Structures are given as structure tokens and as C-alpha cells.
């Protein structure tokens, strides 16, 4: 059970709830703040004060005062009019993360929403009622209005939702989960959809997976270094101390440890004094991407415990302030940066694959790593696939945050496009998993062609990586269908199987 205070949610909590269906509850301390803010809203409505989104319209209609008799209808109309999403539905783990992040945002007590409404969101998670949310429609300011509106439709008994795998109407899903629909009152519609929770959810999950990719990039590098009879002096601690980027130092240290004791990857080579950049400069490349991951992790950690609603209520000071905390620019820039960093991991991995399969570059191994070339193509086309994927990533890595299309009749005249940044990042992460899967498979084949005794000649960590590959994928002796093996290796990466074994060294 994860207790939500609004202040201490972390990345692991998000994954626990989104992927592993951990249950949640609101902390008692948060409930007090939620109630205070709600009382403040009720007081403002009673006094008839003009407050954006409470007694006025939205966006360009912020200058339209709403009569007391229409304040309730205003909130329902907001949700219905804003649920204009299109495209494929977001995966259930993303929608669950969105709900979790919205609850945590509201739990801080600056939004003026009733506790019963937040509890309804809690119950959606705990009973695994997953709203159907199309992935297109958000421009990332005022937050992720469109996708969040699709979630809110469900608690109103509208829209669509999944329950035990079946796609039902919102009302049917609530009934199956033994819940009743809720009618929104003043400020609640706006409080539920004004925020960055779609981009933060997508980005948080992609960030979590990116951390695993950084580890596996070093694992694939180590095994390729072994298969290519590489030179390990480029990973010597002394040179990396002179350029003390944390990621670079970590990557070099990891590869040193993995290849320790190797008879294949050696400190000095009699015939070559240095390797190509994809090996020799890998700590610098991998390390820069590691540092990017850590930078974006800082952004995410701040965002998931921040308040991104508008307007914000300060009951103790009797203030209501209309501002712009919903603007997704911090996330949009961060996700574009991370997309480029992860994409670079795919780029350098594909170049190592190309070197491994090229008989003129792989330091004495057979062309395409097949003993019977001509009759067999070996891993020729595996490199094609990797090349295709990294080419796609180069398109996806173009930033979305540098574009802005004004909305709401130029009232909202600069937007972040952070939802697009986060969606592209998700796709790049999935693509790089496939490229690293190909590298690990091809590198294991190179090792088998390099030595008859892999378990004797490999380094202490490379041995574990090699054995993990070979537990699922046999040495290639003649051509066979390879796509299931790439997918199998990708699953091993996703589950962190190698990391668990390496950490137990």
C-alpha cells in the first residue's frame, strides 16, 4: 500500500502502481489540507467572487461570468467539451500512472476539490478500472487537458473504461467495480484536468526503462569488446579521472569490472594500439547519456510532487492565484533531451553490430559471423534491422518542444508540446531495447567464433552476460528464423535479468 501525501512520491512508486497494481490510499495529513481548500472554494462561491474557472468560463472565455445557478453545469460541460482525444488508446500502465500522479497533485491541498472525488480516483486504481484514453490531443498547456478529461468522464459515468479486460461504458465499468458516478461541483472539473499528468506519466515510465537501458548498453558493450578482441586500456580509471563526468566514470568502471580476468578483451594488443570509437569512446558516449538520464530524473522527481493546477488556492492567506504551473515546458525540454540521449545509445550499439558482422572490421572473424557464408547469411540482416530502427529514431529524436501552435484564440499563445515529446521518448526507448537485444545476440555469436571455451576465456561479468544470452538463444550454426530470438532477448532486457545476476557477483 502506497500512502500519498503529495510530497514524497518517487519513480519506483509510480512503477509499482502503474505496472504491478500496488494499491494506494491518501494520507490523513493530506486530507486536512484537501478539506481546507474545499472550504475556501465554497466560501468564494458563496460570496459571489469572480474567480477564474470557478465563477468564470475557461481559456478565452475567462471574461465570461457564470451565474450561481450555472456553476455546477459549468464543470460537467468543461469535461465533456474537452474530451476530444483521438488516436490509439494509451496503455493501461500509462493511464494508471496518470491517475496516480493526479491524486498526488490534488493531495497537496491547493486545488479545492472535494475529498470524495479524490477517493473516487483512488478507487479506480484499487479496483483496476482503467479509463480509455486516446493518446493524441494534448498540446502540453494548459497541461494535458484532453487526455485527463477522458479519465474524468469515467468518474462521471461517461466515456469508456476497461474492467477485467473488457471495454465498457464508463457507467458500466463503475457498476462492475461497485462504484457510483459523481457529479462535479464548482472548481472540480478544472482541478481534475489542469496539469501535466499524461506527459509526466509517459515520461516517468520511459525514464525508468531508460535507466535499465543504460545498464544494458554497458553489458552489450562489454560482450562486444570480448567478441572483437578489444583493448581495455581505454577504460583505465586514470584517464577517466581527468574528465570527471559521472556517467563516463561509471560506464568505464562497469566495463572494467565486467571484463576483469578476460583472455579475449586485453589491456594491450600486440597487433593494434587502439580500437575504433564505438569501443574506445563508448564510456564517453554511454556516460553522456547516463548523465542525461540523471538530469531528467531530477526534473521528474520535482514534477511528480508539484502542484500543476490553476487557479491555486491558499486558504491560510485567503488568496486565489491564476498562474501557469500547468505549462509543460520543463518536461518537454527534458524529454526531448532524454530522447536524444537514448537514441545515441541505439546509434553506437548499431555501429558495434555493424563492426561485429563485417569480416573486414571484426578482427579475424567470419563475414556475418557464419562459418558457411554464401549458403548462409548469418547475422547480415540483423544489422539491417538495427540500422532501420536507429534511422527511425533519428526522426523521432527531433524535438517537439521547439514548436508552439497557439490555441484558445491566442489566449494560450505558447504551448509546450510536452505530450508529443513524451510519446516520442516512449517509442525511442522501445526501439533501443530492440537494438541492444540484437547487439547482445550478435556479440555472443562473435564470442563463440573467437574461442572454444567462452566460460574460461571471458571476463567475470561478461561470462554472466554470455551465459544469460545462451540460456535462451543457441549459437548460430546455420540460418534460422531470428525474429523470435530478438524479442526473447528484449524481454530479458525489460525484466532486468542480467542486472540481477551481475548485482549478485
**pLDDT tens, residue by residue, 174-206:** 999 999 999 999 889 989 999 999 999 999 999
Q: Please tell me whether residues 213 and 266 are part of one structural domain.
A: yes
- CATH number at 486 reads 1.20.200.10
Q: Please tell me whether residues 406 and 296 are part of one structural domain.
A: yes
Give me the pLDDT at residue 238, please.
Answer: 98
Domain limit, last residue, from 195, 230, 246:
195
Give me the pLDDT at residue 65, please.
Answer: 77
Domain limit, last residue, from 134, 166, 195:
195
Query: Is residue 384 annotated as part of the catalytic site, yes or no?
Result: no
Q: Please tell me whether residues 377 and 478 are part of one structural domain.
A: yes
Q: Domain range spanning residue 429?
A: 203-312+319-503
Q: Please tell me whether residues 285 and 399 are part of one structural domain.
A: yes
pTM summary value: 0.95
Give me the pLDDT at residue 61, please.
Answer: 67
* pLDDT tens-digit series, residues 97-128: 999 999 999 999 999 999 999 999 999 999 99
Give me the pLDDT at residue 72, please.
Answer: 76
Q: Please tell me whether residues 216 and 160 are part of one structural domain.
A: no
Asked if 357 and 382 touch (Cβ cutoff 8 Å), the reply is yes
**Total domains, the chain:** 2
Q: Residue 59: pLDDT band by 50, 70, 90 thresholds?
A: low
Average pLDDT over residues 13-21: 98
Q: Please tell me whether residues 221 and 245 are part of one structural domain.
A: yes
Give me the pLDDT at residue 353, please.
Answer: 98
Q: Please tell me whether residues 215 and 186 are part of one structural domain.
A: no
Q: Please tell me whether residues 175 and 238 are part of one structural domain.
A: no
Domain limit, last residue, from 144, 163, 195:
195
Give me the pLDDT at residue 66, please.
Answer: 67
Q: Residue 55: pLDDT band by 50, 70, 90 thresholds?
A: confident
C-alpha cell at 69: 445557478
Query: Considering 52, 208, 219, 337, which one is annotated as catalytic?
Result: 52
Q: Please tell me whether residues 475 and 348 are part of one structural domain.
A: yes
DSSP 80-124: HHH---EEEEPPHHHHHHHHHHHHHHHTTS-S---HHHHHHHHHH
Give me the pLDDT at residue 60, please.
Answer: 65
Average pLDDT over residues 476-499: 97
Q: Please tell me whether residues 163 and 190 are part of one structural domain.
A: yes
Between the alpha carbon of residue 403 and those of residues 83, 265, 330, 349, 414, the distances in Å are 23, 46, 14, 30, 9
Q: Please tell me whether residues 104 and 223 are part of one structural domain.
A: no
Asked if 117 and 155 touch (Cβ cutoff 8 Å), the reply is yes
- CATH number at 162 reads 1.10.275.10
Q: Please tell me whether residues 301 and 405 are part of one structural domain.
A: yes
Amino acid at each position: 500500500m502506497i500512502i500519498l501525501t503529495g510530497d514524497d512520491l518517487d519513480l519506483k512508486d509510480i512503477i509499482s502502481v502503474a505496472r504491478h497494481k500496488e494499491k494506494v490510499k491518501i494520507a490523513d495529513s493530506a486530507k486536512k489540507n484537501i478539506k481546507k481548500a474545499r472550504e475556501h472554494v465554497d466560501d468564494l462561491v458563496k460570496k459571489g467572487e469572480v474567480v477564474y474557472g470557478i465563477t468564470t468560463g475557461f481559456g478565452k472565455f475567462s471574461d465570461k461570468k457564470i451565474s450561481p445557478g450555472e456553476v455546477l453545469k459549468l464543470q460537467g460541460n468543461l469535461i465533456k467539451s474537452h474530451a476530444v482525444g483521438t488516436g490509439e488508446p494509451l496503455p493501461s500502465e500509462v493511464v494508471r500512472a496518470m491517475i496516480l500522479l493526479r491524486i498526488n497533485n490534488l493531495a497537496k491541498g491547493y486545488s479545492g476539490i472535494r475529498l470524495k472525488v479524490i477517493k473516487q480516483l483512488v478507487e479506480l486504481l484499487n479496483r483496476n478500472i482503467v479509463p480509455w484514453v486516446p493518446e493524441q490531443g494534448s498540446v502540453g498547456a494548459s497541461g494535458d487537458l484532453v487526455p485527463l478529461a477522458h479519465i474524468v468522464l469515467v468518474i462521471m459515468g461517461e466515456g469508456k473504461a476497461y474492467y477485467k479486460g473488457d471495454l465498457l461504458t464508463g457507467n458500466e465499468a463503475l457498476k462492475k467495480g461497485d462504484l457510483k458516478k459523481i457529479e462535479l461541483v464548482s472548481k472540480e472539473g478544472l482541478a481534475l484536468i489542469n496539469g501535466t499528468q499524461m506527459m509526466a506519466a509517459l515520461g516517468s515510465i520511459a525514464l525508468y526503462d531508460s535507466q535499465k537501458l543504460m545498464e544494458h548498453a554497458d553489458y552489450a558493450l562489454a560482450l562486444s569488446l570480448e567478441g572483437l578482441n578489444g583493448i581495455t586500456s581505454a577504460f583505465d580509471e586514470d584517464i577517466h579521472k581527468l574528465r570527471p563526468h559521472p556517467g563516463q566514470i561509471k560506464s568505464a568502471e562497469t566495463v572494467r569490472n565486467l571484463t576483469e580476468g578476460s583472455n579475449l578483451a586485453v589491456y594491450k594488443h600486440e597487433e593494434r594500439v587502439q580500437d575504433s570509437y564505438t569501443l574506445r569512446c563508448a564510456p564517453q558516449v554511454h556516460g553522456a547519456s547516463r548523465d542525461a538520464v540523471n538530469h531528467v530524473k531530477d526534473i521528474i522527481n520535482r514534477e511528480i510532487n508539484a502542484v500543476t493546477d490553476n487557479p491555486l488556492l491558499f486558504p491560510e492567506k485567503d488568496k486565489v492565484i491564476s498562474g501557469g504551473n500547468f505549462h509543460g515546458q520543463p518536461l518537454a525540454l527534458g524529454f526531448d533531451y532524454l530522447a536524444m540521449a537514448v537514441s545515441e545509445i541505439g546509434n553506437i550499439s548499431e555501429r558495434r553490430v555493424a563492426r561485429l558482422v563485417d569480416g573486414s572490421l571484426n578482427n579475424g572473424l567470419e563475414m556475418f559471423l557464419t562459418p558457411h557464408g554464401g549458403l548462409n547469411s548469418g547475422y547480415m540482416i540483423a544489422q539491417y534491422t538495427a540500422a532501420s530502427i536507429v534511422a527511425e529514431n533519428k526522426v523521432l529524436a527531433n524535438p517537439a518542444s521547439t514548436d508552439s501552435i497557439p490555441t484558445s484564440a491566442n489566449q494560450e499563445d505558447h504551448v509546450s508540446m510536452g505530450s508529443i515529446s513524451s510519446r516520442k521518448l516512449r517509442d525511442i526507448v522501445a526501439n533501443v531495447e530492440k537494438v541492444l537485444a540484437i547487439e547482445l545476440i550478435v556479440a555472443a555469436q562473435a564470442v563463440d567464433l573467437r574461442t572454444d571455451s567462452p566460460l574460461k576465456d571471458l571476463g567475470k561479468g561478461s561470462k554472466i552476460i554470455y551465459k544469460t544470452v545462451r540460456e535462451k538463444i543457441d549459437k548460430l550454426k546455420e540460418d534460422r528464423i531470428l525474429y523470435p530470438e530478438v524479442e526473447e532477448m528484449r524481454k530479458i532486457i525489460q525484466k532486468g535479468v542480467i542486472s540481477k545476476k551481475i548485482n549478485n557477483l
